[in-house]
Each structure stands twice: as C-alpha cells, then as structure tokens.
Structure 1
Amino acid sequence: MTTGVEAAEADARGRLVIHERVVRKIAEQAAATVAGRTEQTTMWERLGRRRLPHASARVLGRHVRVEAEVSAPGGRALPGLAADVRDAVAREVGELTGLTVDRVDVRVAAVAPYRPPPEAEPLPAAGRPAAPGIARKAGLLVALLLVALGAAGVYDALVQGDVVDGRKLVEPALEWLDGLEPQDWMVPAGIAVAVVGLLLVLAALWPRPRRSLPVAARTGVFATRGAVEELTVDSAAGHGGVLDASARARRRGVRVRVRTDGEPGTPAEVRQGVTERLARLVRTPKVRVGARRKERR
C-alpha cells in the first residue's frame, strides 16, 4: 500500500503525460510503413477528404485505444493488410509511449487499382492486327502460283491418261516458251523482275516491320506503335490527376498530351509512370508530356 510519503516523493519526481495527439501521430506513421500512400490516397485527399493514413486515439490512464484509417495498395489482401497495420500500430505505440494498447481498429477507406510490376506486365495488343509485310504477301502469291501449277500438272496427267476429256494446259505453255525469241520488251521486264526480287529478299531479311519497336525478350518480339500508344494512354489515364490523355509514339520518343485538374506535379508523375511502363522495350523511348488544365466554368 502506497503511503502519503511515497506519493509525495512520486509527485516530486514528476509525472509523464502523453497527449492523445502524440499517440495519433505515432499510429499514423506506423500505419504508413505498412499501407503507404497510393494513387487512391492522393485522389481521396483531392476530393476534400482527410489525409491517409489517419488515426485517432483515446488515452485512459495507462491504457489506449486506437482507430486507424488507411488506403490499400492494389492487389493486396485486405484482411492481411489490416492485420499487419494492427500489429505495427500496437507495437510502435506500446514501445514509444509505454502505454498498454488495449485495441486497434483498422478501417480501409480506399483501394488503389492493381497494376502488375513493369517486368511482369505483358504489353497490350494493338487496336487492330498489323498488316502483313510485303515479303509475306509475295510469299503468299508465289504459293498460290505453285498450287495452280501443280493443279494444272495433275489435270494434264489425267488428260494424258484419258481419264478426263480436254486440252492440256502445261504443254502448250512450255512449247510457247521453247519457241520464244529475244525481244525488246524483255530487257526492261528482266530489270524490273530483278529489282522486285531484290526488294523481296531485303524485306524478308529485315528484322522487323518499320512501324514496330523491339521488346526485351529472348526471342524476336516486337510491339507496334499502336500498342505502345495504348499502353502509354492506359498508364497516363490511371493517374489520379489526369482527366483525359492521348499519345503519339515514334521510334525514339513518345508524346503524351494530358488534361489535368491543375495539380503542378502531375506531368512529372505521368512522365515517370509512362517511362516505367515502357521499360520492357529494348530502347526506352524519351517521354514528353504536354499538360493543360481543366477549364473552369
């Protein structure tokens, strides 16, 4: 039992009073180490809501109860996130204040959209399939000619064997070629055929279509400019401060135009986000962002 003398000595040494505001700050910092700040957090604040993570505390003697409000990163399981936040807040508040934490309630106020990491995210397909190259078209034409020639040979064999009635097709053509003599038109025709053949060889050996960009992969993978533009627009439009976005891709750079809510740091954040999303290309293009603010009425 404490005597009056012992109580007087305790008062003489002084007392430690921890304000609820201090506990709240410690709890918010602890919650931020687990939940962090996401795109949804910034959007939440721009809508006039309070900053997340947010905490409130109630101190009763040497005991405290804490309520924490956080935003969840995309793709994170909410029960696991809440448990981690609860443990972190209870541990930090208990260690730094010496108070006994009776209860920690966690409320998830916002959830950010899930975005896979750039190294694991597949590039989107183009809005429309890429047109076949000239070498592919020429190969298809040659294949059809060979099929037609084979069919004509089979037909001539059937006529020769009296299986079907009709005139042969291949033999008259061969006789015409055998009796053909040099003529003036053959020189330009031969040059034209040689040039076309050379162009087809170059087209077949060219590693990629002219309007495609190489992707970092063990095999030859290329993304069309349309796919790069779609990926750029998707990245820019996912930013909380962007209202509208468009993109134009070239071999060495990407031009992004965005309409924002007026936040000064939005263009820089959009540039960084697009650059990270395009990191899978062999040569990351230079990203330029043009921004204009939303017109106020």
Structure 2
Amino acid sequence: MSEAPSTDEPGGRGQLAIKERVIARIATTAALRVPGVVRASGSLLRFTHRDLPRADVTIGARAVAINLYVAVEWPCRLDVLDSRLQRDVNEQVEFMTGLPVHSLHVIVADTRRVRHNTGLDDSAVDDSAVDRDAMPPAHTTTTPAHSPRAKPVAAPVASVVAVLALALSVITARELLIEGEQYSGAPWIRNTFEWLGRLHWSGWLVPVAAASVAIGALFVVCALVPRRRTHRGVHSEEDAETVVWLRPIDLARRASDRALTVPRVTTAETTVRRTRLTVRVTCDERDGEHTDPEVAVRSAFEPDLSILTHTPTLRVKVTE
C-alpha cells in the first residue's frame, strides 16, 4: 500500500514575522556606519535606557516607517548627513527584510564636538546611487512628521495622583486585614467617615472649599496645556518637508561657530529663544579692517537660518 505524495510546500507551512526591534537594530547599525554618526551613552542616557542611535519603528502591511534618533559629531553638514542616512538606512532595511521604507525621519538628539573633519562634504553624496524605486510613489499620501515635544505639564500631577492612589490601596489593604481580624488597630477609613458625618458648619470649611476649587482648576489647566516644542525643524533645499530636528543648543553652537569665522571676532556666545536668536560677539581692534562685524556675522549665518522651518529673528550684539 503506497501513500499519496505530500503536496505541502515548505513556503506554505507558516508565516514570516519580523519584530520592530529587529528593524530597529538594522537601522541603528546602518546609521553607525555613516561618517559623522557616533554612539552616545552618557550617564543620563544609560539611566533612561535611551542610548543613541536608536529607532522607533512602525511596521505596516507592505512598508515600514522609522523615526531615527542619532548623535552626530559637531560641526558637520546636517543636510549631507541626512542624505547619507536616508540612502544607507533605506537600502539596508529593504535588503535585509524585503520591506521598503515608507518614511524615515532623522532626529538629531545629541552632538559631540570634535576637532577633526568628519568626511562629510558635498562630494560625499552620490545622488545617482540612491534607489529611487524604493521611494513611495507620487500618489502616496504621507503623514507629516511630528516635532519632538517636552513632557506634558500634567506629568508631575499624574505622578502625585499615582502616589496617592498607591497610598490609598495600602490603607484599604490595612482595613481589610482589620476587618478579617488579621491585624489589630483602629480602622482609619471608618473613623474618618464617622468624623466627617459628625461635622457641622465651621469657618475653616470656607478656605478648604476654595483650596479644593483652586486645585481642581489647576489640574484642568495642566491637562489642557499643550506640550512645548523642544527642537527646530530643518528642511532640505529640494523639499519643504522637515527632515532633521535640531535642539536650540545645537543651533546656538552652529551660530557661534559661524561667528568665529568672521575676521576680528575673538569670542562668540549665542542664546536661542522661541522667536529670537541673539549672537554676542567680541571684536579686537585691527588697522585696515573696515568690515562691519554685525553685517559680517549676519551674512555668515543667515544661509543656515534659511533652511529652518520657523526662522527666528537674528540679533547681533558687538562688543569691542
């Protein structure tokens, strides 16, 4: 008696499942191979388990979306660095998983100042080497990247409420032990409610009621206050969509570096506010130099301001 040949093909016995952390590892490994990207694992980063580079991955049916957080050597050309990251990470993820990258958002989360050249110049990017077939088709609708934001204002309030809830659970467990005669002691919850039931009108109830209303209003305000933006968006010259996010301190370092390239400028200090960027420079006196330092600093840094999505007002203060 012969058995019928099996028609079970190996490819039909199961499915391939790729976890987000696998694609995140591929993306971070490819990012570290790009000149200018460095590994950052300071004491605070180790405490929060947020070493750099890291990636947040969302897997769709036929594509993936990646938010890539990197630390870079400073100074460097961020637009060139982004082009290299877009090319190398897209190629590696698609090559190793078979899934094209629908969107890759690069977020510069930290910088490391170095004295040597990172090797990122204009000739380092070969546009012809970018796989155009891996890019989304023209009719694909893409969701704009959300800017990084600070922690919600309600986070401390939520922490206090959580601690109070834990304390209440401990008190409730104590009451249950007392009720079951497993623990001897005065019942706090029952005695508290009995005390409240015996209360009559007193003058101190007015400030207590007012304080309760104020605390409730404060909680509502904390819940409604939007989170503030912590980074500045940078777009490429070809596309108005934000591709890189900069911290204010990174923008300040860039402005100071640009100011120090101006003749006669000996020191430069930059402060960044929400709508204003102030550069304070100190100049020495040189014979034969007739260039206005304020105009020269503006000319040196204004091209960098033009690629920001929200351009702040530039102020230059000169001290001689």
Q: What band does the TM-score fall into relative to the shorter chain?
A: 0.3 to 0.5
Larger radius of gyration: 1
Higher helix share: 1
TM-score by length of 1: 0.46
